[in-house]
Chain A
Amino acid sequence: MNILVCIKQVPDMESRFKVNGTGDWYDEADLAYRMNEYDEYAVEQAVQLKEQLGNQPEITVLSIGADRVGEALKKALAMGCDKAVQVQDNDSARKDPWQIANIIAAFAGDKNFDVIFTGMQSQDRGSAQVGVTVAEILGHNCASTLVGFEYADGVVTAKRELEGGVKSVVKVPVPALVTCQLGLNVPRYPTLPNIMKAKKKELQLVPVASLLKEEAATGTEKLYPPVKSGGGIVLEGDLGDIADRLLGILKEKTTVMK
């Protein structure tokens, strides 16, 4: 069995974001990067599937981006993937989901992956388009937003999270692509010997130009924070005084006291 996991490196969501000079993306200065959270579920599920099948399948992990994505790939290797592919692209943030999906599909095209795992969406762009588009281009079966995954005899049984707390169970024969969601599993903490071993695993570099033949289907016009619509008030001082002031505000500015 051949497994592909697609991961993205994203900024730590705890960071303070600023809009960049050209006004179309965030400023990358002073940001710390990590593996996209949803992709960690994807990696974990791929490794669990490999373990279920007696470690026979080979897992390839792929990421598109500048050299810094090597760190995210290393983590995936330490978690149990077998080899890594970095599609070298210093400008990946400007590629739209259509182009990203096409890059992945072009890479996967002739490699006969039985199962492809991706995150449900990225934490920074959050389009949730890439996984499903890859499946469409490759003609694979697809199930999105997985919170449960089982595999037996060439069929993936996927539990999907739908809206309003409803869940559905679908069976998809391989080749299949699944996108992974919070609740699917608990990503493992890589052991130190595996971190060491990951350093020796194969990292293949592929120039993005050799895979990307498509123009962008969408473009970013402008990126800006929401306009401030008013601030909060912090009352400080003596407790009794605060209570009086709060009462005053409630009486004057709201209808709750009327």
Chain B
Amino acid sequence: MQSHPYFMPLLFVAVLTFCYSCYQRLQLVTVGAAENRFDRPGERLAGVLSYAFGQKRVLSRPFGVNHFVLFWAFLLLLVANADFLWQGLFPGGGLSALPEGIRHPLEFAFDLVSLLALVSVTVALARRLFFAPSYLGNEYTKPRSGEALLILGMIATLMAAYFLMNAARLAPGEGSWQPVSRAVSLVMQGLPAATLEAVALTSWWVHAIVLLLFLNLLPRSKHMHILTAIPNCYFRSLDHPAVPPREEFQMGNRFGVSGVEQFSWKDLLDSFSCTECGRCQDLCPAHNTGKSLNPRRVVHDLKVNLLEKGGKPLIGPKEEGTSCEEALWDCTTCGACLSVCPVLIEHLPKIVKMRRHLVQEKARFPEELLNLFENMEQRSNPWGIAPSERGKWISVLEERDFKPGETEYLFFVGCAGSFDSRAKQTTLALATTLDRAGISWGILGKDEICCGDSVRRLGNEFVFDKMARGNVELFRERGVKKIVTACPHCFSTLKNDYKQYGIELEVVHHSELIAQLVRDGKLKAPKKASQGKVLFHDSCYLGRHNDTYTAPRAVIEAATGGTPGDFERNRENGFCCGAGGGRMWMEEQTGARINHERVKEALKQEPDTICVSCPYCMTMLEDGLKDQGAEKVRVKDIAEVMAEALNDR
């Protein structure tokens, strides 16, 4: 076949416009602030292998298999299509010049893989048309979105044209290496040579034009992810993604984010990597209960805002390209969106950055928070109780001050454990359990200050910074090395956030310590305390944010002798109690209550006891049960369950 004189200029223009579109978008990414995502290349590459090439997160949902097939088909067909374009310019070159021993296996692979791609695209089309899951659509897009159908149609056309083109060119008896094309050729058997030639030429042009259109549609649609998802996996946050960066409190600085240029370049790259798969939306507790927030929309709006070059406010009225304040305050920072995103987009830190702007530069926040911030600043606890009361719970035991050089574990009791009457029972249960295991522990009493979790997630970084520095200084002064805490919020903040202050502490959540003591034989519950049918509720800051799922379950098993049951949504897919991200201190006015939703999920299984490992979850679930008229279901902390088993002699 001769090279067509129109093809070269066509290809040239198509490649040029493609490059221009890509350049335009990458240029937009560079308006973002600097952020170092270039360290530890080995770890980053390993992530790319697992998340991008291994499609680890994609495969966590059953339908992900279809994407896995399509992804790998794409990679292989990238070679086939590069060869196609090359041969369009230089017929007889490219792969066709290779010896048969190499060419035939390649042709065989391309043929089969094209069929796989065609099947998987057809399945994807059928899914969007006939059995679309609810989370594909939302208020700005629908499963049958023209763009998605167009792209899928294009891919299907490419595959069909590929088979027709090959089949028409196969001489009778030829093509044993291309079984699919050969099967198609059998159908066309007996057609005159001129017709076959016309079919071959037409399918070649259809293939060429659709391919070049596809190339140009990519950067201008959500299919940009084909280009950005792999880099996005490479530049992912290696540290804990829920930990937002520190801010520098200097005169003239801007605080938080109110415009796209204040986001980091990686935040902006995230927006071009979103495929609108809807998994974050599906899992988000706020979205699920009819609130304004949809994490997918936050990322989508960021992209729209960026493409309009900041012509719209980033935070403002609810319209495409703008995040509304209510949505930003809806976030419980549960991290479901982070943990489910197949391309590792970091939704949560963006929300916190925008909250920082609202709190610190505008002093605009739900009015309940005024009281909270004042309590935190004045008395270093959310309830505003006198700091001198912090160590009072210990009065029923003997004094237990942390003594530098003598005490092994600092028991960081936290605000809830010190002031909330229900959580104080957990505190006592843990204290007696540690005593039974012969652990050396002590407290800071009235010197302990709040870890700052709520204020940090709420965007009041200035107050968090003061608290964190205060605690870090105190830990250094007292020579604290090991910390145990019964609150996942304290746990995660001390363990992950405080690293930014140059202090490396060995922080354990009480579930981990108790599980360890059980394993070491230091805690034996001779007579298991039955709690009836037990369900375990995963706390977001223990589970998703710190990957601790087995320890609390092991504690329950050791104490009750039975494996606890799971909620329908558990572990990585767990559903927040509604109190994280400072939501504990705010009214929940829009939509259904998150804790009601969670309690209803539990009640379906008719449990006797719901076990928790977090004081906030305790409050939210107990309140939820009361509201649902199901007070007979008890909520217990894992430490209480263990303490009961130890005392049940």
A interface residue numbers (CB < 8 A to B): 12, 14-16, 30, 32, 34, 186, 188-193, 195-197, 199-200
Closest 7 CB pairs of A and B: A192-B360, A14-B386, A189-B363, A196-B251, A191-B363, A192-B255, A16-B388
B362 within 8 A of A: yes
B249 lies within 8 A of A32 (CB): no
A15 lies within 8 A of B386 (CB): yes
A191 lies within 8 A of B370 (CB): no
B569 within 8 A of A: no
Residue of B nearest to A199 (CB): B251
Of the candidates B249, B362, B370, B389, the one whose C-beta lies within 8 Å of that of A186 is B370
- Beyond A189-B365, A189-B373, A192-B360, 6 extra complex contacts between A and B, CB < 8 Å: A12-B379, A12-B386, A15-B386, A191-B360, A191-B361, A192-B361
By a CB distance below 8 angstroms, the chain A residues around B251 are 196-197, 199-200
17 contacts between A and B (CB under 8 A): A12-B379, A12-B386, A14-B378, A14-B386, A16-B389, A30-B388, A32-B387, A34-B378, A188-B363, A189-B363, A189-B373, A191-B363, A192-B255, A193-B361, A195-B462, A196-B249, A199-B251
- Closest Cβ of chain B to A192, distance in Å, is 4
B384 within 8 A of A: yes
B230 within 8 A of A: no
Residue of A nearest to B463 (CB): A192
By a CB distance below 8 angstroms, the chain A residues around B373 are 189
Of the candidates B365, B367, B378, B389, the one whose C-beta lies within 8 Å of that of A32 is B378
By a CB distance below 8 angstroms, the chain A residues around B154 are none
B363 lies within 8 A of A190 (CB): yes
Interface size on B, residues (CB 8 A): 22
By a CB distance below 8 angstroms, the chain B residues around A188 are 363
- Closest Cβ of chain A to B424, distance in Å, is 15
By a CB distance below 8 angstroms, the chain A residues around B255 are 192-193
- Closest Cβ of chain A to B415, distance in Å, is 14
B385 within 8 A of A: yes
A16 lies within 8 A of B386 (CB): yes
- Closest Cβ of chain B to A189, distance in Å, is 4
B249 lies within 8 A of A192 (CB): yes
By a CB distance below 8 angstroms, the chain B residues around A14 are 378-379, 384-386
C-alpha gap A95/B640 in the complex (Å):
54
B378 lies within 8 A of A191 (CB): no
Residue of B nearest to A191 (CB): B363
Residue of B nearest to A193 (CB): B361
Of the candidates A34, A186, A196, the one having the most CB atoms from chain B within 10 angstroms of its own CB is: A196
- Closest Cβ of chain A to B302, distance in Å, is 23
B378 lies within 8 A of A189 (CB): no
C-alpha gap A193/B365 in the complex (Å):
16
- Closest Cβ of chain A to B395, distance in Å, is 14
B interface residue numbers (CB < 8 A to A): 249-252, 255, 360-363, 365, 367, 370, 373, 378-379, 384-389, 462
C-alpha gap A21/B389 in the complex (Å):
23
Given contacts A12-B378, A196-B251, A200-B251, contact A189 B361 (CB under 8 A): no
By a CB distance below 8 angstroms, the chain B residues around A16 are 386, 388-389
C-alpha gap A188/B386 in the complex (Å):
23
C-alpha gap A188/B360 in the complex (Å):
12
B462 lies within 8 A of A189 (CB): no
By a CB distance below 8 angstroms, the chain B residues around A195 are 462
By a CB distance below 8 angstroms, the chain A residues around B385 are 14
- Closest Cβ of chain A to B250, distance in Å, is 8
By a CB distance below 8 angstroms, the chain A residues around B386 are 12, 14-16
Residue of B nearest to A34 (CB): B378
By a CB distance below 8 angstroms, the chain B residues around A32 are 378-379, 387
Residue of B nearest to A192 (CB): B360
Of the candidates B249, B361, B388, the one whose C-beta lies within 8 Å of that of A15 is B388
By a CB distance below 8 angstroms, the chain A residues around B379 are 12, 14, 32
By a CB distance below 8 angstroms, the chain A residues around B252 are 196
- Closest Cβ of chain A to B257, distance in Å, is 14
C-alpha gap A12/B380 in the complex (Å):
12
Residue of A nearest to B389 (CB): A16
By a CB distance below 8 angstroms, the chain B residues around A197 are 251
Residue of B nearest to A30 (CB): B388
- Closest Cβ of chain A to B392, distance in Å, is 11
Of the candidates B360, B365, B384, the one having the most CB atoms from chain A within 10 angstroms of its own CB is: B360
C-alpha gap A13/B361 in the complex (Å):
29
- Closest Cβ of chain A to B237, distance in Å, is 25
C-alpha gap A195/B389 in the complex (Å):
30
- Closest Cβ of chain A to B385, distance in Å, is 6
Residue of B nearest to A79 (CB): B363
By a CB distance below 8 angstroms, the chain A residues around B370 are 186, 189
C-alpha gap A88/B373 in the complex (Å):
30
Given contacts A12-B378, A14-B379, A32-B379, contact A192 B387 (CB under 8 A): no
C-alpha gap A220/B493 in the complex (Å):
48
Residue of A nearest to B362 (CB): A191
Residue of A nearest to B369 (CB): A189
C-alpha gap A196/B255 in the complex (Å):
12
C-alpha gap A193/B252 in the complex (Å):
7
Residue of B nearest to A188 (CB): B363
- Closest Cβ of chain B to A51, distance in Å, is 14
By a CB distance below 8 angstroms, the chain A residues around B387 are 32
Of the candidates B384, B388, B389, the one having the most CB atoms from chain A within 10 angstroms of its own CB is: B388
- Closest Cβ of chain A to B200, distance in Å, is 69
Residue of B nearest to A14 (CB): B386
By a CB distance below 8 angstroms, the chain A residues around B249 are 192, 196
C-alpha gap A199/B252 in the complex (Å):
13
C-alpha gap A186/B363 in the complex (Å):
13
C-alpha gap A12/B386 in the complex (Å):
8
C-alpha gap A173/B143 in the complex (Å):
68
C-alpha gap A14/B361 in the complex (Å):
29
C-alpha gap A15/B379 in the complex (Å):
9
- Closest Cβ of chain A to B123, distance in Å, is 52
C-alpha gap A208/B218 in the complex (Å):
75
By a CB distance below 8 angstroms, the chain A residues around B363 are 188-191
Of the candidates B252, B373, B386, the one having the most CB atoms from chain A within 10 angstroms of its own CB is: B386
Residue of A nearest to B384 (CB): A14
By a CB distance below 8 angstroms, the chain B residues around A196 are 249-252
- Closest Cβ of chain A to B467, distance in Å, is 14
C-alpha gap A127/B361 in the complex (Å):
37
- Closest Cβ of chain A to B168, distance in Å, is 70
C-alpha gap A197/B252 in the complex (Å):
9
Of the candidates A14, A186, A200, the one having the most CB atoms from chain B within 10 angstroms of its own CB is: A14
Residue of B nearest to A197 (CB): B251
By a CB distance below 8 angstroms, the chain B residues around A191 are 360-363
By a CB distance below 8 angstroms, the chain A residues around B250 are 196
- Closest Cβ of chain A to B311, distance in Å, is 25
C-alpha gap A11/B449 in the complex (Å):
18
C-alpha gap A196/B247 in the complex (Å):
14
C-alpha gap A15/B255 in the complex (Å):
33
By a CB distance below 8 angstroms, the chain A residues around B389 are 16
C-alpha gap A145/B414 in the complex (Å):
40
- Closest Cβ of chain B to A202, distance in Å, is 16
Residue of A nearest to B250 (CB): A196
C-alpha gap A15/B387 in the complex (Å):
8
C-alpha gap A173/B362 in the complex (Å):
34
Residue of B nearest to A200 (CB): B251
C-alpha gap A34/B377 in the complex (Å):
10
C-alpha gap A229/B585 in the complex (Å):
38
- Closest Cβ of chain A to B55, distance in Å, is 43
Of the candidates A30, A188, A191, the one having the most CB atoms from chain B within 10 angstroms of its own CB is: A191
C-alpha gap A16/B365 in the complex (Å):
31
By a CB distance below 8 angstroms, the chain B residues around A189 are 363, 365, 370, 373
C-alpha gap A197/B382 in the complex (Å):
28
- Closest Cβ of chain A to B421, distance in Å, is 13
- Closest Cβ of chain B to A58, distance in Å, is 22
By a CB distance below 8 angstroms, the chain B residues around A193 are 255, 361
By a CB distance below 8 angstroms, the chain A residues around B361 are 191-193
By a CB distance below 8 angstroms, the chain B residues around A199 are 251
C-alpha gap A191/B387 in the complex (Å):
26
C-alpha gap A191/B460 in the complex (Å):
10
